[in-house]
Structure 1
Amino acid sequence: MTRSNDLVELSPTGGRVPSDTHPQDWAWRFWFALPLYPYRKRRTLRTEVIPGTVWTFDQLHGILYAVVPIRMTVIRLDSGGLLVYAPVAPTPECIRLVNELVAAHGEVRYIILPTSSGLEHKVFVGPFAQQFPHAQVFVAPNQWSFPLNLPLPWLGFPRDRTQVLPLDSRQAPFSDEFDYEILDFNLGRGSFAEVAVFHRRSHTLLLTDSILSVPEEPPAIAQLDPYPLLFHARDSALEPIEDTPDHRRNGWQRISLFATYFRPYALKTTELKETLRDGFKAPERSPRAYFGFFPFRWQDDWQQSFEALRGNGRPFVAPILQTLILPQAPRTVLAWVDRVAQWNFRHIIPCHFDAPIPATPEEFRRAFAFLKPNSDPQQTTNLLDFPLPDTDMEFVRELEANLRKRGIATAPRESL
């Protein structure tokens, strides 16, 4: 893999950083539509995954500095032009990097929104499509949004160029190079949809949220501004924020636990009195440091939780999907998994965390084995070499129980 040509300087940990961009190039003017960090200034990192064929564009987003990559993938078409999967914020820097590919390979012809409910993906598609007026926009079926269910044109989608993906991939205009399978089921107050896209020539599987893999080292996009990593590397507010390779790594690993479990077992929160006391004594009390507010305490064995989560880089399904979403329709999900696993992909590019993930169809199947509680124990341990620990899953399961009690979540609508 290679970074874009303008990435020429090295960070202390080896990540490449741009040398010729300016803050105005990072501007995202519609940040208020989804006010996640880094708000109005978003960096973009382009990576050439397969020379001359597949590129990823990474940005960051998160809450309280728990930032993870959000990713767009661009693929060169044999017939000329580009296909874009899951656009990111079309900042001037991002559009410049896309236009470099346009100059070399032809215009953006197709843009795919591969989810029905993921606002963190949907919010970018309309503004991105406006930058490429000749592109056809295809969206997953049964689009909806919360708290207001707004029609797509209100979100900036071009009315005359936007259509729902055909259920049969052979009817899509890019079917000579791609296959896709649509996972779509009703959640009661909306739907869950994910479009898996397979690029035959490069043996690449594109996914949105269903599969993750967590790298041990912080991704390059997170190291362009390492402050969030360093913020979470501390054990208390009384520690200074210092930039070292170990602090970047520890901060990233703790952020990964935050982002996947919300409240992992190894994380404890301090009492308000202690938090305020330490905040007044903190060596950094600037607004950027939340005025010294840092209510977190990590147990000594927190890295064991991270190693269990990482599982040597194996693909897995995020805990929130394992617990709240996919068990609503296990037969539908497993049928989709079987259809996707028929493709001979060699790696997976999801929209979050690490990419590309070296993975076989069998490894993809195994990630969904939690939906088969009655499967042969001699063939599984949930068919995962590294099952997610029950202790770390506890908060997500408590969340599910509370949402059901309040009538927000429902019992599964489908059984195996």
Structure 2
Amino acid sequence: MDSLPKPKDWSWPFWPVVPLYPYGRRRTLCREVVEGTIWTFEQVQGILYTVVPIRMTVVKLSAGGLLIYAPVAPTPECIRLVKEIVAKHGEVNYIILPTSSGLEHKVFVGPFARRFPQAQVFVAPHQWSFPINLPLSWLGFPSKGTKIIPENSSQLPFADDFDCAVLDINLGRGSFVEVALFHKRSHTLLLTDTILSVPEDPPAIVQLDPYPLLFHAKDSALESIDNNETNRRKGWQRISLFAIYFRPSELKMLEWGKMVRDAFKAPDRSPKAYFGFFPFEWQQNWKYSFDALRDEGRPFVAPILQTLILPQAPKQVLHWADKVATWDIQRIISCHFDSPIEASPEQFRRAFAFLEKQPSMGGNQSLPEKDLRFIKELEANLVRSGIAKPAKENL
């Protein structure tokens, strides 16, 4: 499904709604994960060149037609690739928004649904958004064709193909919702945010424009970095630490004076390079932090969820995880970082052991406390200000 580069086909004109890099020009890569059955569509997005994949999954239904899980930006290139699958396997019947809050997923659904008006749109319950709580109609969702995913998943019109489990946590000022869909025939679990796996090398979609990788591979503003495999890998691994920890322990922020002096001496002072400003430096042990995070590609729960969100309802989360772990999972497709993740039900369930006082199923594979420090300080500040609630005691 490769196509020649056509920049006009990468256009995403609604990027100002959620102004994330790469803004109005988004490439799409399509990959067949299960032959004739499951395809993933990847784009990138991020802030300050901290770019990670965002992923849509397309599944062929047993009765014909397609289900779309978590749409990405419907650029001309993306829609052309989808229509190649439609031509062989039938129309898009269902479009799923599997989360309740994130505008970075929600903003694509309405425009995507307009390209396939015959499709029914199903959304996670208790929709809201931050920082602006926009009604779905304002985001282009079809008023008549949009339905809430019910608690009783047997009522879903695609229940013959999928098991469904909805995690719906009331956070007081909003909700966190994760809709897990399990494609029974291929033993594939579809998730949005709860499970991640970090690859050692940068994903192919990130390498289409290597500039963000090379930017983060630099050790200082004074360095001119070569575009080679080693530097792209180095940049990706540092991006992963940024994206997951926000401020990893091995990152030192520079003093303002040094940052300005270095900017004047930088070999690249273009707007693309932020006029030479490079506000941080990595300590020597940063690679050990990445290796601990990756842990040979094991699936894990993102620290922001481990610290701020899931501890709000540990019993509810573990009940949901127990239900999902009864399915015969062989692979997980998540919306970010690596995918597919080869994983068993036991490996999925083990990722939530941090919510247990006495972790079962092989123990709790915890992340380094020093790298979690910034997120835990953020949690404490949010609790003190009344924005967040204290975590409930582990079970």
Structure 1 length-normalised TM? 0.93
Pick the aligned partner of 1:118 from 90, 102, 105. 102
Task: Confirm or deny: 8 A CA contact 1:197 1:207 kept in the other structure.
Answer: yes
Is residue 133 of structure 2 the alignment partner of residue 170 of structure 1?
A: no
Is residue 108 of structure 2 the alignment partner of residue 129 of structure 1?
A: no
SS of residue matched to 2:13 = coil
Hey, what's the Cα distance between the residues in 1 that align with 2:236 and 2:278? 17
Partner of 2:338 in structure 1?
Answer: 354
Amino acid at match of 1:399: L
Hey, what's the Cα distance between the residues in 2 that align with 1:390 and 1:177? 41
Within-5 A mapping of 1:183-194: 183-194=167-178
Within-5 A mapping of 1:54-65: 54-65=38-49
Is residue 378 of structure 2 the alignment partner of residue 394 of structure 1?
A: no
Task: Confirm or deny: 8 A CA contact 2:308 2:391 kept in the other structure.
Answer: no
Pick the aligned partner of 2:135 from 147, 151, 159. 151
Hey, what's the Cα distance between the residues in 2 that align with 1:381 and 1:340? 19
SS of residue matched to 1:160 = coil
SS of residue matched to 1:289 = helix
Q: CA deviation at 1:300?
A: 0.8
Partner of 1:91 in structure 2?
Answer: 75
Is residue 234 of structure 2 the alignment partner of residue 255 of structure 1?
A: no
Hey, what's the Cα distance between the residues in 1 that align with 2:29 and 2:243? 21
Task: Confirm or deny: 8 A CA contact 1:81 1:109 kept in the other structure.
Answer: yes
Partner of 1:302 in structure 2?
Answer: 286
Partner of 2:391 in structure 1?
Answer: 412
Partner of 2:204 in structure 1?
Answer: 220
Hey, what's the Cα distance between the residues in 2 that align with 1:351 and 1:41? 20
Within-5 A mapping of 1:261-276: 261-276=245-260
Which ranges of 4 or more aligned residues in structure 1 deviate by more than 4 Å?
none
Amino acid at match of 1:270: L
Q: CA deviation at 1:151?
A: 1.7
Pick the aligned partner of 1:341 from 316, 325, 328. 325
Hey, what's the Cα distance between the residues in 1 that align with 2:393 and 2:296? 33
Structure 2 length-normalised TM? 0.98
Is residue 52 of structure 2 the alignment partner of residue 68 of structure 1?
A: yes
Hey, what's the Cα distance between the residues in 2 that align with 1:285 and 1:148? 35
Task: Confirm or deny: 8 A CA contact 2:357 2:394 kept in the other structure.
Answer: no
Pick the aligned partner of 2:213 from 229, 235, 248. 229
Q: CA deviation at 1:375?
A: 3.9
Number of residue pairs matched by the alignment: 395
Is residue 331 of structure 2 the alignment partner of residue 331 of structure 1?
A: no
Is residue 229 of structure 2 the alignment partner of residue 242 of structure 1?
A: no
Is residue 144 of structure 2 the alignment partner of residue 160 of structure 1?
A: yes
Task: Confirm or deny: 8 A CA contact 1:329 1:414 kept in the other structure.
Answer: no
Is residue 7 of structure 2 the alignment partner of residue 28 of structure 1?
A: no
Q: Where does structure 1 lack aligned partners over 5 or more consecutive residues?
A: 7-19
Q: CA deviation at 1:149?
A: 2.1
Partner of 1:281 in structure 2?
Answer: 265
Amino acid at match of 1:126: G
SS of residue matched to 1:326 = helix
Within-5 A mapping of 1:188-207: 188-207=172-191
Superposed CA offset, 1:79-127 (max 9, x none): 1110000000000100000011111111100000000011111111011
Partner of 2:382 in structure 1?
Answer: 403
Hey, what's the Cα distance between the residues in 1 that align with 2:307 and 2:91? 41
Q: CA deviation at 1:389?
A: 0.5
Hey, what's the Cα distance between the residues in 2 that align with 1:414 and 1:122? 32
Task: Confirm or deny: 8 A CA contact 2:350 2:363 kept in the other structure.
Answer: no
